[in-house]
A and B are shown apart, each in its own frame.
Chain A
Amino acid sequence: MTGKWQLKDHEAEQRLFNRRLTAGALVIILLFAALIAKLIDLQINQYEYFSARSDGNRLHSQYVPPARGLIFDRHGELIADNQPIFNLTIVREQVEDLDETLEFLGTLIRLTDDDIEQFRNRMRRNRVPFSSVPLRYVLDDEEKSKIAVNSHLLPGIAIEPQFVRSYPLKDLTAHAIGYVSEINRDELDRLTEEQRENYGGTNHIGKTGIERTYEELLHGTVGYETVEKNNRGQVMRRLDRTDPIAGKNISLHLDAKLQVAAEKALGDFRGAVVAIEPATGGILAMVSKPGFDPNLFVTGISSKDYSVLVNDVINTPLFDRSTSPYPPGSTIKPFLGMAGLHHEYVDYDYTIEDPGYFRLPGVSYRWGDWTLRSAIGGGHGTTNLQRAIFQSCDTFFYDLGNRMGIDTIHSFMSLFGFGDNFALDVGYARTGVLPSRDWKLETRGEPWYPGDTINSSIGQGYMWATPLQLATATAVMANKGKVVRPRMLRSVDDVMVEPIADDYAGDVVVADADYWRYIHESMTMVVHRPTGTGAFRDYGGAYLTTAALDKEMPYQMAGKTGTAQVVAIDQSIRNSDDIEVSDLNKDHAWFVSFAPSMNEQVEPKIALAVFVENGESGSGVAAPIAKEIIDTYLLDILDIDFAALEEQAVQDVNLISQADD
């Protein structure tokens, strides 16, 4: 025990080792016991919790977007369709180097800086991790195959099919039908919680026109499916599915053929046509020209295309002329005339001597008749209301308006929808201005002057109306006072839409029903009263440009021309030397019309307003356009055989008279 080498006690050492071995075994048992306790805690005590967590990991509920309802015209022709397109999408988490990948993609397919910028914008929006974000819409076959061939070099890049809106009539329906486009932040914020849920799987929302008005009908109800996803977000299995409910198919009163005809009739002019079926208020055609291709907006318009549309200050293709106000000019004369008759300021025999101008007593200013500004000169001579309408005598209406006063004009004209939007489902239409004392005080802070009334009497000054309003008023005129509110929607899923309670705006009732016949007759004379070539005092109508050119015309139409001075042109545009721009100073041309008129057998089938921007002459430019449209509608689309009906009526009368004998 004291030396350097100690004697080894083998027995004692083995006992020591065995004790240590036993201690080791005990520690092992303790540690395994602790481990088993931990496992029991995890697998028995917390089993429910972890089971739920495990399901939460792998099971994902995802939205299935509904198919958007289709839009048809009144004959079942498709106006808005859903077409499959193929999009290039990227899952950011699976792409190693985004810039490199984008560069490589650029060598395979057409990829503009604009596409990339819009892609980055979409990326920045709130998005679920591992979800795919579209980079390019509408790949063509060649691009698809190029991507497919190189797919092994492009992890995270996929081609996904999607159904999107397609508008086969393109420019023709751009304004009336509108378009859908990607939902933006503002629109999402505006949705209620419930709606936002419903839009969970939807990329597009109606932005303008019918697409916007009937968004709720067209969208449908979102569906859900439960899928099992792996750690990388790939769908491994579909477990459960609630099918989406497709949006409702709607059909409109719109007549695609008439829409085409109206657009064609406008020719190279900028302008608008609104046609209404007087019996129902259904809008048969609503054209604003020039239009634009709404399909561009569906998949995100490139900023280049967009700037072309926005920067065209002359044609302003994005601007909807059919629902925007202009001075209506002489087109309001029949309505004013009716006001005069109803309130007994004139009767059938009342005449004025027109010197070509009007003067207020004690005021030196002369309000000139349009004849003063033309070669005719010198006024209309002895003029009654009928002549004042078909010759469009300004002086007569200066006098009538002055005597009626603005209050009477306002209250009577508002019955026809001026200054108001009678349309049921064209909510975005402007209301124009039907001026009144209150209106002027409110907006201008000035009292109403008698001169204001005189300007308003020929549809100038403060008076503004949209083509839609004029078509509406003309339809009321054609209906002899029965007001039907204009509407686009005709049926939903083939069920006709019944008129709703607030459909009714109150009919126009006049003191003597014969006044309607009188005004109809006057308006018919605008088109049909022959103007002898040499007859000096027969002018102002539209005979020479319409009925005179069509001796075989089988029906009569009522109309009223209008030529309105251009107001509010930007000074820089006005001063331009450009020939095209100087055209912008020309007067706007109007023609309101309904047909057939003065027909015993057939009630008026169509009422319309034609507006031609800088068209110069209502009779020369707008009236022939109106006639062409009405011809198409009555003779081609409705295919009414007026001669046969006439003959049938004559026979019926004969039969009755024979029976009487």
Chain B
Amino acid sequence: MINQDFVRQSTGFYRENSRSRNFWRALHTDPPLLVGLILLCCFGVFVLFSASDGDEAMVRRQALIMLVGMIVMFIVAQFSVHFFRRWAPSMYAVGLGLLGLVLVIGVEENGAKSWIDLPGLPSFQPSEMMKFIVPMLLAWYLASRPLPPRFKHLFWSALMIAIPAALIVLQNDTGTAIMVFMSGVFVVLLAGIRWRIVFSGFFALLLVSPAWYLFLAQEHQKNRILTFFDPYRDPTGAGYNIIQSQIAIGSGGVYGKGYGNGAQSHLDFIPESNTDFILAVLAEEFGLLGILFLICLYLFVLVRGFYIAYAAKDMFSRLLAGSITLTFFFYVFVNMAMVSGLLPVIGLPLPLISRGGTSIVTLFVGFGLLMSIQTHGRARRT
């Protein structure tokens, strides 16, 4: 640290550089992450414009939500990460309370009863908040325990993850439940849980899954699994989405059909072309090169996230940053794999590309936390 200070002060070149660095640090903003996010947002809006068949109102709304997300990110970044650490248990308690409340007075929308509409307040989804509160709590809990975590710590960790995830499943919002669950699991994985526990858990899941399929799975879940293995068993029903999506991707070829020329999407063969299946539109119009470009953009953001986690100065920050980054990847990968037929269809949007509302803002809260970790840790120490 002292060494660094010396370098900064010793040469004019670094002084110039460090001045701009200090400027961004004062704003609590991480320029590389910001650039990556802006590029992703622009590309997303660009693709959405074609996917929505030139629906300007929809595109404008999406851009506005992204702007709101950026502002939220900026505000979140102003708080020191230690503020969040202190408040994590309280926020978790409040979050659980709200999830309980949703079950009682929640408002249903799109089949999921996940909204709270209190008089005088804008309506919101407590389950979205849990996407960052759960990893925060686990990071808070495990960071102060010796690592790798002991079995009893793992037990409590599992409980901390399972309770909100179960409550969200009860809201009939499996997609969000999976995300909340995974965001917690990533913290535990990063905290150094023993591999043999991970693998035995994995094998146990493999062994249990046939039993789940036979006795517990609901009809539509079974259908999704069967359709994943053979979309053509019901080409106009359950398999329709994935078949049309694969046709769109495959017919895009290497270079794509050109912007706005995607026949599959513009003739409405791709269902949910604005949301979950927007990757098919992109793949059809921009081809393999377009997808590779998108993957590069994502990788850029991921690499920066990894760097922030790596460079963070305390275990809470490391665990939180690592979990946020891995969760973001999980999001990206699950959607891409689902649309291209590598995974069964799960209703998850492609982050920052698909049309969305609250979920976009939630993503930016995560990025705000990353920026907070990157900028506050150091500022405090100098």
Contact = CB atoms under 8 A, between A and B. Distances in A.
Given A14-B315, A17-B190, A21-B322, 10 more contacts: A32-B333, A35-B337, A35-B340, A36-B292, A40-B288, A43-B253, A44-B254, A50-B246, A57-B247, A58-B263
B267 interface: yes
Given A36-B292, A39-B340, A54-B251, A232 B192 contact: no
A24 B264 contact: no
24 contacts: A9-B146, A14-B318, A20-B322, A21-B190, A24-B189, A24-B190, A31-B333, A35-B295, A38-B340, A38-B341, A39-B249, A42-B249, A42-B250, A42-B340, A42-B341, A43-B252, A47-B251, A50-B251, A51-B250, A54-B264, A57-B267, A57-B269, A58-B264, A230-B268
Interface string B237-261: 0000000101111111110000000
B99 interface: no
Contact of B267 (A10, A44, A50, A58): A58
A138 B302 CA distance: 67
B36 interface: no
B291 A17 contact: no
A4 to B, nearest CB: 11
A244 B195 CA distance: 73
B263 A57 contact: yes
A121 interface: no
A54 B333 CA distance: 25
Contact of A228 (B191, B267, B310, B341): B267
A73 B145 CA distance: 106
Contacts of A20: 189-192, 322
A271 to B, nearest CB: 61
Contacts of A230: 267-269
B196 to A, nearest CB: 14
Interface in B325-376: 326, 329, 333, 336-337, 340-342
B66 to A, nearest CB: 24
Given A24-B326, A35-B340, A50-B247, A17 B254 contact: no
B130 interface: no
Interface in A434-478: none
A17 B341 contact: no
A34 to B, nearest CB: 7
Interface in A575-628: none
A1 B192 CA distance: 18
Interface in A525-563: none
Interface in A1-59: 6-10, 13-14, 16-18, 20-21, 24-25, 28, 31-32, 34-36, 38-40, 42-44, 46-47, 49-51, 53-54, 57-58
Question: Which A-B residue pairs are the 3 nearest by beta carbons?
Answer: A50-B250, A54-B251, A231-B268
Contacts of A18: 310
Nearest to B147: A13
A17 B315 contact: yes
B299 interface: yes
B269 A25 contact: no
B302 A28 contact: yes
Instruction: Identify whether the interface residues of A are mostly helix, strand, loop, or mixed.
Output: helix
Given A13-B147, A13-B192, A44 B263 contact: no
A43 B288 contact: yes
Contacts of A32: 295, 299, 333
Contacts of B341: 38, 42
Q: Which of B190, B269, B283, B287 lies at the interface centre, i.e. has the most chain A CB atoms within 10 A of its CB?
A: B190
Contacts of B254: 43-44, 47
A236 B267 contact: yes
A9 to B, nearest CB: 8
Contacts of A49: 250
Given A39-B288, A54-B247, A58-B269, A16 B253 contact: no
A47 B254 CA distance: 9
A229 interface: yes
A28 B248 CA distance: 25
Given A20-B192, A230-B267, A236-B267, A42 B246 contact: yes
Interface of A: 6-10, 13-14, 16-18, 20-21, 24-25, 28, 31-32, 34-36, 38-40, 42-44, 46-47, 49-51, 53-54, 57-58, 228-232, 236
Contacts of A231: 267-269
A21 B251 contact: no
A50 B248 CA distance: 7
A47 B256 CA distance: 11
Contacts of A46: 250
B192 A25 contact: no
A229 B263 CA distance: 10
A28 B306 CA distance: 11
A21 B337 contact: no
B192 A43 contact: no
B375 to A, nearest CB: 20
B359 to A, nearest CB: 21
Nearest to A13: B147
A472 to B, nearest CB: 61
A8 B147 CA distance: 8
B148 interface: yes
A361 B146 CA distance: 142
A594 B186 CA distance: 109
Contacts of B337: 31, 35, 38
A10 B246 CA distance: 49
A50 B249 contact: yes
A336 to B, nearest CB: 75
A17 B283 CA distance: 36
A36 B295 contact: yes
A21 B325 CA distance: 10
B232 to A, nearest CB: 12
Nearest to B240: A231
A541 B302 CA distance: 116
Contacts of B33: none
B248 A54 contact: yes
Interface in B179-208: 186, 189-192
B247 A39 contact: no
Given A13-B192, A38-B342, A21 B248 contact: no
Contact of B250 (A7, A35, A47, A228): A47
Contact of A232 (B186, B268, B340): B268
Given A44-B288, A230-B268, A54 B263 contact: yes
A38 B322 CA distance: 27
A232 B266 CA distance: 12
Nearest to B302: A28
B249 A43 contact: yes
B309 interface: yes
Q: Which of B186, B263, B337 counts the most chain A CB atoms within 10 A? A: B263
Contacts of B267: 57-58, 228-231, 236
B3 to A, nearest CB: 19
B253 A44 contact: yes
B161 interface: no
Contacts of B263: 54, 57-58, 228
A51 B256 CA distance: 11
B59 interface: no
B288 A21 contact: no
Interface in B218-249: 244, 246-249
B85 to A, nearest CB: 16
Nearest to A29: B299
Given A13-B315, A39-B340, A51 B251 contact: yes
A53 B245 CA distance: 11
A53 B244 CA distance: 9
B251 A16 contact: no
A291 B192 CA distance: 98
B281 interface: no
B319 interface: yes
A18 B319 CA distance: 10
B342 A17 contact: no
Contacts of A31: 333, 337
A400 B336 CA distance: 103
A32 B296 CA distance: 10
